[in-house]
Amino acid sequence: MSSPTDAVWNRALDLESPAAAERPGDAALLTVLTFHGLVMNGGLLSAVELHANDPVYPADAVVEAYRFLGLESAAGAIDNAVLEERDLDDDAKEAAEERIDETYVLEDEDIEQALEVTLTNDPDAFAPL
């Protein structure tokens, strides 16, 4: 049998959107997992560009979700990337991409640990199992 953390993680992945979540913790986790997957596949700058006008996962909601789970360092990196991306032209983006991507150092295990802490400290933020 899986742990409560695994069950909450898997349930978040089954949600269609953050709006489908019953509780704010589930919505935050889905948002973090969705954005994190994009970062792992294409880098932080690419993920920020994809979310610049995203109605389901706007950048400010992404940053808020990371902060909800206590992932402040990653939230700061995303916030900074959003601000920087707005001012870059195409040539400058290419030059800045590696530097910006390197500021996001979050791994899956970090998200799992943050989820465990949040589940322990605020279990009501997540729907019952």
Establish if 115 belongs to a structural domain: yes
Establish if 93 belongs to a structural domain: yes
* Surface-to-core class of residue 120, CB atoms within 10 Å of its CB (0-12 exposed, 13-18 middle, 19+ buried): exposed
Is residue 39 a contact partner of residue 72, using CB atoms and an 8 Å limit? no
Establish if 78 belongs to a structural domain: yes
The answer on pLDDT for 125 being more than 60 is yes
CA-wise closest residue to 9 among 26, 31, 22, 34: 26
Establish if 129 belongs to a structural domain: no
Establish if 126 belongs to a structural domain: no
Q: In whole angstroms, how far apart are CA 61 and each of 29, 52, 68? A: 12, 11, 10
pLDDT tens string 57-76: 899 999 999 999 999 999 99
The answer on pLDDT for 2 being more than 70 is no
Is residue 67 a contact partner of residue 35, using CB atoms and an 8 Å limit? no
Which residue in the block uniquely carries the two structure tokens 């700058």? 45
Task: Report the C-alpha gap between 128 and 69 in whole angstroms.
Answer: 18
Q: What is the pLDDT of residue 88?
A: 87
Run of H or E including 115: helix 108-121
Q: What is the DSSP letter of 1?
A: -
Number of separate domains in the chain:
1
pLDDT tens string 9-57: 999 989 888 878 889 999 999 999 999 999 999 999 999 999 988 998 8
User: Which residue range is the domain that position 38 belongs to?
Assistant: 4-14+22-120
Mean pLDDT of 102-122: 96
